[in-house]
Amino acid sequence: MNYLRTSTTRTQVWMYGNPSPSSQMLTKAVASFVVVLFDNVKSAAKDLFDCSFRSMVCVTVAASLVLVAILYRLVRKLLKIPWISDIESRYILITGCDTGFGNAAAKKLDAMGCNVIAACLTESGETELKKSCSNKLKTVHLDVSKPESVRKAFNAVVGSVLPPGKG
């Protein structure tokens, strides 16, 4: 378990596993922002309202809850964004694209602009997928339980779908 401490002594952020440097920087920035904003809200409320400690606690808790809600939404939005660079030049082979998860993944990645190679078991699956996606999506017939079908699909992908120097 790794942990990070921000520049303020009161804030500790615990991270499990080996976080990437960009995750560490983002976590430090968010934690520092929260501490600074919390302190500013507290001091501004104290200056604005000459009130008791109990009132200050209520204002601080309310401001903190609003801030946490905003940061939660922001982090959720950031986590939905793919962090793959140069996505338009990537080629992705997905098996099981007739239905289910493979089909949904192929459609989503195609909509994001990836070059998708969708491996389907049936001709009808290939046809339906081609109808609902862009021209960048290529389909190939593949039965993963048969070695000959895997070899045939491999040769089809390397021979006609992938540009020279890729894959």
Contact between 140 and 117 under an 8 Å Cβ cutoff? The reply is yes
Please give the model's pTM, rounded to 2 decimal places: 0.51
| Amino acid at the residue 2 | N
Residue-wise pLDDT for 110-155, tens only, equals 998 888 999 999 999 999 999 999 998 999 999 999 999 999 999 9
Question: Which tens digits make up the pLDDT trace of 77-100?
Answer: 777 765 667 777 788 899 999 989
Rounded Cα gap, residues 128 and 106, in angstroms: 12
Please give the Cα distance from 26 to 21 (Å, whole number): 9
**Residues 147, 120: one domain?**
yes
Pair (57, 95) in one structural domain: no
**What pLDDT score was predicted for residue 58?**
74
Residue 34, in any domain of the structure: yes
Q: For the chain, give the percent of residues with pLDDT over 90.
A: 28
The residue segments making up the domain with residue 98 are 87-161
Average pLDDT over residues 25-43: 69
In a domain, 166, yes or no: no
